[in-house]
Amino acid sequence: MRQIAVIGAGITGITTAYALNEKGYDVTVIDRQRYAAMETSFANGGQLSASNAEVWNSWSTVLKGIKWMLVPDAPLLMNPKPSWHKYSWMAEFLANIPNYTANTVETTRLAIQARRHMFDIAAREGIDFNHETRGILHIYRDKAAQDSARAVSALYAQGGLERREVTPAEIRAIEPTVHGNFYGGFYTPSDSTGDIHKFTFGLAEVCRRKGVRFINEASVERVRHTGAGADGTGVEITLTVAPEAEDGAATHETLAYDAVVVCAGVGSRALAAQFGDRVNVYPVKGYSITVMLDDEQSQNAAPWVSLLDDKTKIVTSRLGKDRFRVAGTAEFNGENRDIRADRIRPLTDWVRKLFPGVSTERAVPWAGLRPMMPDLMPRVAAGARPGVFYNTGHGHLGWTLSCATAEIIAAKVEAALPIEAPAPLLRMAAE
C-alpha cells in the first residue's frame, strides 16, 4: 500500500489525511505539537464564510493599508523593519491586482464546494463543533462602503453565492443584540460558523480510529526527495522527536514514504525550498478573544448570528451557550507569535461598544499566523518532483476552504500515485 506522509496537523493537514485515508492510502501525520489544531487552527474567527471570499489584491485595499499604517489600533499593522521576504511578497501581491476578479470568483466557488464536504463529513462522522447555521451578517457604516459591497456581491453571484442587501432596521431584526448606527449591510443565510479546534481535533480522532498514524511532538528537521520508487517517487523526512519522559533525551530518526503532502502553514515555504519548489507563504498574524459568557445577562446580550464589521474588519462567532469568539487584525511582523495587549484591546473595546450587556471580564486572548500566498489563493498542487504535493497557503480562509482543497489534493495524489504499486516494484517485491 502506498505510504503518504502529511506534514502538519492543522485543519488542512487533518482534512487532507482524512481524504487520503478514504481513498485507501496508508497515511502518517507529522506535527510538532502534542495534539492536532494547536496553532493557527486553534482559535480563529470561526466563520465558514463564502461571503468573505474577496481576495485582498485591490488598489482600495492598498490605499486603506497606507492610511491604517498611521493609526495605532487600525485593522492592519506592518513592522517597517526591512525584510526581503516581506517586501518581495508585497511586490507579488501588487502584481496580482489584475487577477482580483477571477480569484475572488474562484475562491467563492471553492468555498461553496468546501461547505458541502464539511457538512457531509461532520454528519457522517458525528463531529460536534458548535456549528451554527444562522448566516453571516456584514455591516457597513457609510454609503461608500455599502456601494463597494454591492460590487463585491456581483462577483460573489458569479461564483454562485446568494446574499441579500439589508437595511439598518433589517440588521436589528436579524440580530437584535447589536448596538450602533449602520448605513446598511448584506446578509448571507447559507454561511455558518463553528469551532475550528473542535472540528479538527474531532476529525483527527476519527482518522486515528480509521488507521491513520500520528507522530506528534516531532519537529521536521530536513526533507529530501529520494526518487527511490520505481515511478520516481520517494521522500525521506528527518525528525527530532520529543522524549516521552521528562528526564529523557530527544531522539532523531529518518523515515521514508512514497509521497508527502506539505500542509505546514507558515512552515511550508522552508520545506518547499528543500524540495526545490517555491511556495511563497508569508505569516500574517491575526488575533482573537474568546469571551466567556459566565452569566445569564452576557449570554442573552451576545449575538448568535455571525457578524463582520467592515470598518474594523472584526468578525464574530457564537460557540455554544457560553462562548463568544471575536477576531480580527492583520499584522505583518514575520514569524512572531507574541500576543500584544495593544492589538487585543480593540477587540475588547469593540465588544463593549456593540454589545454593552456582555461582560468582558473573562476574555481569553490568542494570536495565530495565517499562511498567505501573494495572490491570496491556496497552493493546492504537485511539486516539481514526483511524490511531492502541497496543500497550504489558505490565508484567512483555511477553515472555510479546507474540505474542498483536501479533496482536490487527494485526487491529485490518486492520479499521480495509484493505490497499487507499479508493476516493476511488484516484481522486485516478488523476487
pLDDT digits 0-9 by tens, 288-321: 999 999 999 999 999 999 999 999 999 999 999 9
**Model pLDDT, residue 1:** 82
Mean pLDDT for 393-400 is 97
Give the three-class secondary structure for 28.
Answer: strand
Residue whose C-alpha is closest to residue 343's, from 118, 98, 74, 138: 74
Which pLDDT band holds residue 431 (cuts at 50, 70, 90)? very low
For residue 346, give the H/E element and its range. helix 341-354
Q: What is the pLDDT of residues 173-226, one digit of tens each?
A: 999 999 999 999 999 999 999 999 999 999 999 999 999 999 999 999 999 999
Query: In this structure, which amino acid lies at residue 328?
Result: G
Residue recorded with cell 464536504 = 117
Give the SS3 label for residue 4.
strand
pLDDT of residue 421: 55
Query: Sorting pLDDT into bands at 50, 70 and 90, what band is 425?
Result: very low
Rounded to whole angstroms, the Cα distance separating 119 from 127 reads 10
Q: What is the pTM assigned to this prediction?
A: 0.95
In angstroms, the Cα distances linking 68 to 76, 82, 83, 97 are 6, 19, 20, 19
